[in-house]
Structure 1
Amino acid sequence: MVGILSPQEIQRFLQKHYIGTISCCFHDKPYAVPFTFLYDEASHTLVSYTAEGKKIDILRKNPQVCVAVTEIQNLSNWKSVVIEGRYQELDGLEAVEAIKLLISKLRKRINDQGLQKVEQIEDFARISHSSRKVIYRIEIQHTSGRYELAEG
Structure 2
Amino acid sequence: MLVREMTHNECLAVLRDGRLARMACAKDSTPYVVPIYYAYSGNRLYAFSMPGKKLDFLRSNPRACLQVDKSRGDHQWVSVIVDAAFRELPQEDPPGEERLHAWSLLSHHFDWWEPGGLKLQPQPQPLRAASRHIFFALDINALSGREARLGEPERVSPQ
The verdict on a shared fold, with TM-score over 0.5 as the criterion, is: yes
More helix by share: 1
**Normalising by the residue count of structure 2, what TM-score does the alignment of the two structures yield?**
0.77
Give me the CA root mean square deviation: 2.2
Residues of 1 paired with 2:106 and 2:138: CA distance? Answer: 13
Matches within 5 A, 1:35-74: 35-40=36-41, 43-74=42-73
More strand by share: 1
The DSSP-based 3-state class of the residue aligned with 1:121 is coil
Runs of at least 5 residues in structure 2 that lack an aligned partner in the other structure: 118-126, 153-159
The DSSP-based 3-state class of the residue aligned with 1:83 is strand
Q: Which moved more, 1:45-54 or 1:66-75?
A: 66-75
Deviation at 1:70? 1.1
Partner of 2:101: 97
Partner of 2:147: 147
Matches within 5 A, 1:1-150: 1-40=2-41, 43-91=42-90, 92=92, 93=96, 94-104=98-108, 107=109, 120-121=110-111, 124=114, 129=128, 132-150=132-150
**Normalising by the residue count of structure 1, what TM-score does the alignment of the two structures yield?**
0.80
Percent of paired sites with the same residue:
26
Change (3 A) 1:26 1:123: closer
The aligned length equals: 135
The DSSP-based 3-state class of the residue aligned with 2:57 is helix
Runs of at least 5 residues in structure 1 that lack an aligned partner in the other structure: 108-119
